[in-house]
Structure 1
Amino acid sequence: MTHIDELAALGTSTWLDDLSRDRITSGNLQEVINTKSIVGVTTNPSIFASAMSKGTAYDKQISQLKDQGASVDEAVYAMSVDDVRDACDIFTEIYHSSHGQDGRVSIEVDPRISADRAATIAQARQLWATVDRPNVMIKIPATVESIPAITDALAEGISVNVTLIFSVSRYREVLVAYREGIQQAAANGHDVSNIFSVASFFVSRLDTEIDRRLDEIGTDEALALKGKAGVANAHRAYALFKQFGSAELPEGANLQRPLWASTGVKNPDYPATLYVSELAGPDTVNTMPESTIDAVLSEGGLHGDTLSDVEAAAEAVFAGLASVGIDIEEVFSVLEQEGVDKFVASWTELLDSMETQLS
């Protein structure tokens, strides 16, 4: 029994926030499953940009794609899809044993189209069909423009990982989009028990931004709030999930589990397991970089269900932030735009690199 197994017993599934061809072909991904108890994988444009820019694992396929006259976008997605499909196959046993809840591998739509509903649903369909594995999840960002595409995808029977959620108000919209999508899926004749979704709530980035602002304010009251916003915000989101997560879902539908993302600690003064030990509880997922998984395995730090009966304390943190002058809605707006911009920058960098290799 590892500390990751203990986390699972509390109701939190651990997914690895990383994927590369080297992990797959070397057997490392299977080893991490076997030895570290991970039960899923998430990817994003930054992860693929890092994977494809290192080593020689993709050289053979790049040469083949060059000979085929593939465009830069076609090449990047061909390699990404192959990695995700192979990872899905590795997780097949976990997918079946968990009845579809875990054994999941996520792949994201092009971040450059996050403001285009039609383009987003078109690419979600394409990725779903091309990966062609029941345990893939298509990541769609929770931008204002893409929220309707989440409903569209679910209505067509596509399992969705809703990403880049920062605020509870936006999360409420995601819950509604999920409910409407599942209702439409049922009306369209889909077996809703086979449709799964998670809502990826970003944690550490909130602390990074708010801590910077608290340092600028500099008062004792402000500094006392450092490192508290990320967990408190997730606690507020979980309270909303408990209140509305199962509301008006058709018979047989699955809950859209909250997924805690960006859980690697950015401030070395904070415990490495902060965003794990304080976000443990039923019906949740925590996707972690391997360094955080290793910290949990070695340090533990778990102290039971830390998601229940904490809403009052979370609200007190946000009242405190407001009282020292933090404009929390402006923070959320900044973080959402930065999140999209960072993924676009990573994707653009990858495309530029690939263009050089294909030329």
Structure 2
Amino acid sequence: MNDRLKALADAGVSIWLDDLSRERLDSGNLSKLIAEDSVVGVTTNPTIFASALSKGEAYDVQLKDLAADSATVPDAIKAVTTTDVRNACDVMAATASATGGVDGRVSLEVSPKLALDTDGTIAEARELWSTVDRPNLLIKIPATKQGIPAIRTAISEGISVNVTLIFGLGQYENVIEAYLSGLEQAAEAGHDLSRIHSVASFFVSRVDTEYDKRLDAIGTDEAKALRSKAAIANARLAYELYEKSFAGDRWAALEAKGAHVQRPLWASTGVKDPNLPDTLYVTELVVPHTVNTMPEKTLLAFADHGEVKGDRVTTMYDDAHRTMDALAGLGIDYDEVIDTLESEGVDKFMKSWDELTDSVEHSLHEVSGS
């Protein structure tokens, strides 16, 4: 067991791998990461699957069968991704059992083409939940305006959800409300709340990318001093909101019925700026009851030289507020930044789906010889 990653896990951070492939499953690599590197969950996205399909021949047998059955590209995507996720859920089943379902989770996204379609998202969430048919699955739904009611409906029906594409505190408030109201509806419908789980994926590095671009345009010494500080401050304030939201009478009533908190998940934790420490968004966001989903590069970097310096979130609320106030004082509009990030996030979401579509279409043609 890697000591650095174990220390991170012991500090209350659930380590999830932001990657999955059939090769990783078939080779036993995922099992090894669980045994040696404290990995207790997996997240996926269309880009991850497109990359997996482009490497090696692990998918050829299934793709040949799909091509022989004249499967459409969307059907082939669904078949390939749900197979990998189902198998990963099985690998993670022991972890899920040992943690009461809190960890041992594997996430699968609804189609990004549905990011602005509430009814379509709900229908696909139901279909994916039924197709994978594993209790430790999480369905990823974006925190768009149209996604929020879909999140509430999914939770109300007993579907566990990973809410993705959260950048701002206003978004996060809406996500928490959707989760709480979904749980209340689930309880009314007779669902066992102890079986419903959710995480809220708060994106980190992209916030710095957008703020730093604006700070560089301002160019003053004060602006330069605030570079690469927005993302961590923003995430810390998200945790402050989490602590306030999962307290009080409303939450106590749900908790008494077996409900679990919706843990914050730090996403996009690989650094984009090569001048920053490669473990920055892990070390500076250590706090109990969180998930950090890392690309393998970040996981290996932390295993090699990462440091756990104790709680770096609840002890830093005042500093986080000062940082965000200073950024606002320079004339940078927080809501405008978040709107830009959400819009770009949806666009990237859709482009990654197009990449996956092209990859599957190419693979189907290749294995069929057409």
In 1, Cα distance between the equivalents of 2:217 and 2:77? 41
Paired residue for 1:144? 145
Q: Please tell me whether the aligned partners of residues 142 and 165 of structure 2 are also in contact (alpha carbons under 8 angstroms).
A: yes
1:45 Cα deviation from its structure 2 partner? 1.3
SS of 2:163's partner is strand
Report if the CA contact (8 A) 1:45-1:347 is conserved: yes
Other-structure match for 2:342:
336
Partner of 1:314 in structure 2? 320
Matched residue type, 2:70 = G
Aligned pairs (5 A) from 1:265-284: 265-284=271-290
Q: Which residue of 1 aligns with 2:270?
A: 264
State the match for 1:33 in structure 2: 34
CA distance in structure 1 between the aligned counterparts of 2:128 and 2:247, rounded to whole angstroms? 28
Q: Specify the SS of the correspondent of 1:223.
A: helix
Q: Distance in 2 between matches of 1:232 and 1:92?
A: 35
Per-residue deviation at 1:54?
A: 2.1
- Secondary structure, counterpart of 1:286 in structure 2: strand
Could you report, residue by residue, the CA deviation over 1:113-157 in whole angstroms, capped at 9, with x for unpaired residues? 111110001000000000000000000000011100000000000
Question: What does 1:106-185 align with in structure 2 at a 5 Å threshold?
Answer: 106-185=107-186
Give yes or no for contact 2:50–2:359 (8 Å, CA) kept in 1: no
**Identical positions, percent:** 55
Contact 2:14 2:40 in 1 (8 A): yes
- Which residue of structure 2 lines up, in the alignment, with residue 78 of structure 1? 79
Contact 1:281-1:306 at 8 Å conserved across structures: yes
Q: Which residue of 1 aligns with 2:368?
A: none
Q: Which amino acid aligns with 1:330?
A: E
Q: Say if 1:8 and 1:356 are closer, same or farther in 2 by CA, change over 3 A.
A: closer
Q: CA deviation at 1:353?
A: 3.0
Cα separation, 2, equivalents of 1:198 and 1:143 = 16
* Mapped partners of 1:218, 1:284: distance in 2: 35
Q: Which amino acid aligns with 2:90?
A: D
Cα deviation, residue 53, structure 1: 2.1
Alpha-carbon distance, 1:355 to partner: 2.3
Distance 2:200 2:275 in 1: 28
Deviation at 1:322, TM superposition (A): 1.1
8 A contact 2:47–2:355 mirrored in 1: no
Structure-to-structure mapping, 1:64-75, within 5 angstroms:
64-75=65-76
Residues 205-256 of structure 1: per-residue CA shift (max 9 Å, x gap): 1111111111111100000000100100000000000011245231210000
**Counterpart for residue 215 of structure 1:** 216
Per-residue deviation, 1:297: 1.3
- Give 3-state SS (helix, strand or coil) of 1:115's partner: coil
1:199 is paired with a residue of what secondary structure? strand
The answer on whether the counterparts of 1:53 and 1:350 sit within 8 Å (CA) in structure 2 is no
Q: Secondary structure at the match of 1:310?
A: helix
Aligned residues, how many?
359
Using the alignment, how far apart are the partners of 2:54 and 2:346 within structure 1?
A: 21
> Are 1:347 and 2:357 an aligned pair?
no
CA distance in 2, matches of 1:69, 1:237: 47
Give 3-state SS (helix, strand or coil) of 2:315's partner: coil
1:103 equivalent in alignment to 2:109: no
- Segment of structure 1 superposing worse, 103-112 or 286-295: 286-295
Alpha-carbon offset, residue 326 of structure 1: 1.3
Q: How far does residue 321 in structure 1 lie from its aligned partner after superposition?
A: 0.7
Q: What are the Cα deviations for residues 141-188 of structure 1, in whole angstroms up to 9, with x where unaligned? A: 000111000000000000000000000111001000000001111111
Q: Residue 9 of structure 2 contacts residue 38 of structure 2 at CA under 8 Å; is this kept in 1?
A: no
Unaligned runs of 5+ in 1: none
| Distance (Å, rounded) in 2 between the aligned partners of 1:188 and 1:121 | 17
1:293 matched to 2:299: yes
**Is 1:14 matched with 2:15?**
yes
Amino acid at match of 1:137: L
> Equivalents in 1 of 2:23, 2:348: separation in Å?
24
Deviations 1:275-308, CA, capped at 9 Å, x for gaps: 1111111111000011111111111221001111
Matched residue SS, 2:39:
coil
- Residues 227 and 288 from structure 1, CA distance in 2 versus in 1: closer, same or farther, beyond 3 angstroms? same
CA distance in 1, matches of 2:65, 2:295: 31
User: Hey, which bits of structure 1, 4+ residues long, moved more than 2 A?
Assistant: 352-359
Q: In the TM superposition, what is the alpha-carbon distance from 1:357 to its structure 2 partner? A: 3.4
Superposition pairs of residues 29-68 of structure 1, within 5 angstroms: 29-68=30-69
Contact 2:88 2:106 survives alignment (8 Å): yes
In the superposition, the TM-score normalised over structure 1's length comes to 0.98
Contact 1:198 1:257 in 2 (8 A): yes
Residue 105 of structure 1 aligns to a residue whose secondary structure is strand
Does 1:324 find its partner at 2:330? yes
Tell me: CA distance 1:84–1:246, structure 2 relative to 1, closer, same or farther (3 Å): farther
Task: Using the TM superposition, name which of 38-47 and 348-357 deviates more.
Answer: 348-357
Residue 267 of structure 2 aligns to which amino acid in structure 1?
A: A
The CA deviation string for residues 5-24 of structure 1, in whole angstroms up to 9 with x for no partner, is 11122111000000011100
Hey, what's the Cα distance between the residues in 2 that align with 1:3 and 1:196?
Answer: 28
- Separation in 1 of the partners of 2:278 and 2:357? 33
Q: Contact 2:13/2:288 (CA < 8 Å) preserved in 1?
A: yes
Q: How large is the RMSD of aligned CA atoms in angstroms?
A: 1.1
